[in-house]
Amino acid sequence: MSAHRGRTAREALSRDLDLWWRATTLRSEWLDHALSTAPADRQASEDAIAGLYALVGRPRPTFTWVDSPAAASPPPSAGLRSDRLLPLESLVASLLSALRDRLDRRIGARRTSYVQPPDPLAALRSGLPLGTVLEAGVRDPLHRTAAESVAGAIRAAIPERSGLVWYGQHEAAWVAHYDVHRRIGSTVFGADDLVQLELWATIARSCGWWWPREGECVVAERPAVVHVEPVAGSAYGESRVHREDGPAVVFRDGWSVYAWHGTAVPSWVVESPTADLIAAEPNVEVRRCAIERLGWAEFIDQAGLTLVSSSPDPGNPGSELRLYDLPHHRWGSRTRLLLAVNGSVERDGTRRRYGLRVPPWFDDPIDAAGWTYGLTGPQYALLRRRT
C-alpha cells in the first residue's frame, strides 16, 4: 500500500509539473496580448462586445472608435428607464461577476492573492496544490503587469469619468486565469460559460479600453508603444511599465504616459528633472522618482544641500544615515532632510534610497531617524532591523 501511494504521489507530481510548464507557455501568450501594440481587430472586438450586449438583452450598439483612452467621451449612462431595467453598465458588470463566481466554483478557488512561492517547481514538489501555484504564477503576475502597472499608469493620467469602463487587453489576467485551467485540462467548464468566457477573451485579445452604454459603445485602440522592464528576481515573467528617456506608453493620437520603474510620473520627472521642480512636488513618490532620475549626487548639488552629519544606521546595518540642511529659499521653510536606505528589499532585489523631511532642530541623524518612527535616538539605536 505504501509503495502504491508513493507511486501515485510521484505520478500526480509529474502531471502537475507538466501542466505547470504548459501553463507558463499560455501565460506568455496572454502577456503578449496584454502588452500588444498592434492595431485593434475592430471586427472581432465589435462582434464580441455585441455578443455581451445580446446576453443582457440589448441590441447590437453603434461603435465609436478613439485612438486613446484620453480621447474617449463616452455617452452618459441612461440611468433607469423603468422600474425593471438597470443601466447597461450594471447589467454587464453583473453578467461578468456571475460568470466569474461560477468559474471559481468549478476551479474550487477563492479570489485571493497568494504570496508568490519563490520557486514554483519547489512549491509543487513540497505539495502546494497546482491551483494555488497557477493563481500565484499566472493570474497574479499578469494582474500586476497589465492591470496594476500599465493600466494603473494610464488611469493616473486621465481625468475621472462617470460610469464603468472595461480595460480590454489589460484585463488579460483574469481571462488568462480561467483560460489556462481550460486549456491545460485541469478544469471542465460548462458550455454556456465557455461561450461567454470566449467573448471576454476575444475582447482582451483584440482591443483596448471600452465603455458600454445604451445604444452606443466607445472603444479605444491599443497603444502604439509600450515600454516595460522585467521585475528582477520574479520567477513568473512579471514586468512593470518604465522608460528612462521618454514616455513609457504612447497612443496613436500622440497621447502618452510617463512611468519610472512602475510608478506613474509627470513628464518632467523623465524629461527634465530639477531640484526646484522636486522641491515644489507634493507627492513623495513622485519626488523620489525624480531624485532617482536626476541622481542623488546631482540633486544634492542642485538643491544646495549642506551636510550636517552622518552616521552608520543602527536600524539598517551596512547602510548610512546622512542629515542635510535644506535651503529656505527653495523649500519654503527651515527644515532638514534625512537621507536613508530602505530597510526592506524591493521586489527587484534593490534597496531604495529615500529622503525624509525632519524638523530643523535635529543635528544627529540617529535622533532624526528615531523621530520618523516616533522614537528617541537611543531607542532607535536599539533596533535590530527596521523596515
Contact yes or no for 139/29 (Cβ under 8 A): no
30, 57, 218, 368 from 81: Cα distances, Å = 38, 14, 21, 61
Q: Which of 178-187, 232-241, 338-347, 378-387 has the highest mean pLDDT?
A: 178-187
* Confidence tier at 339 by pLDDT (50, 70, 90): confident
Reduced to 3 states (helix: H, G, I; strand: E, B; else coil), residue 274 is coil
* Confidence tier at 355 by pLDDT (50, 70, 90): confident
Mean pLDDT over residues 5-34, rounded? 84
Q: Which of 96-110, 119-133, 190-204, 366-380 has the highest mean pLDDT?
A: 190-204
In this structure, what are the phi and psi dihedrals at residue 360, rounded to the nearest 5 degrees? -75, -10
* Structure confidence at residue 80 (pLDDT): 45
Q: How far is Cα 107 from Cα 88, in angstroms, rounded to an integer?
A: 29
To the nearest whole number, what is the mean pLDDT of the chain?
Answer: 86
* Structure confidence at residue 374 (pLDDT): 87
At residue 348, does pLDDT exceed 50? Answer: yes
* Confidence tier at 84 by pLDDT (50, 70, 90): very low
At residue 7, does pLDDT exceed 80? Answer: no
C-alpha torsion angle, residues 29, 35, 40, 41 (rounded to 10): 0
Cell numbers for 174, please give them: 483574469
Mean pLDDT over residues 29-43, rounded? 97
Reduced to 3 states (helix: H, G, I; strand: E, B; else coil), residue 312 is strand
* Structure confidence at residue 119 (pLDDT): 77
* Structure confidence at residue 303 (pLDDT): 84
Mean pLDDT over residues 233-260, rounded? 92
Contact yes or no for 184/18 (Cβ under 8 A): no
* Structure confidence at residue 362 (pLDDT): 87
Q: What percent of the chain has pLDDT over 70?
A: 87
State the helix-helix crossing angle for 191-206 and 88-107, rounded to 10 degrees. 120
Cell numbers for 132, please give them: 494555488
Considering the entire predicted model, what is its pTM?
Answer: 0.81
Alpha helices in the chain (DSSP H): 2-34, 42-55, 88-107, 120-125, 130-134, 140-142, 151-157, 172-183, 191-206, 267-271, 275-280, 284-294, 296-303, 328-331, 365-372, 377-381
Residues 130-177: tens digit of each pLDDT: 888 888 888 999 999 999 999 999 999 987 776 789 999 999 999 999
* Confidence tier at 83 by pLDDT (50, 70, 90): very low
* Confidence tier at 256 by pLDDT (50, 70, 90): very high
* Structure confidence at residue 12 (pLDDT): 75
Task: Tell me how far apart the terminal alpha carbons of the chain are, to the nearest angstrom.
Answer: 50
* SS3 labels along 62-83: EEEEECCHHHCCCCCCCCCCCC
6, 88, 348, 361, 368 from 315: Cα distances, Å = 48, 55, 22, 21, 13
At residue 79, does pLDDT exceed 60? Answer: no
Cell numbers for 227, please give them: 515600454
What is the residue type of 122?
A
At residue 75, does pLDDT exceed 90? Answer: no
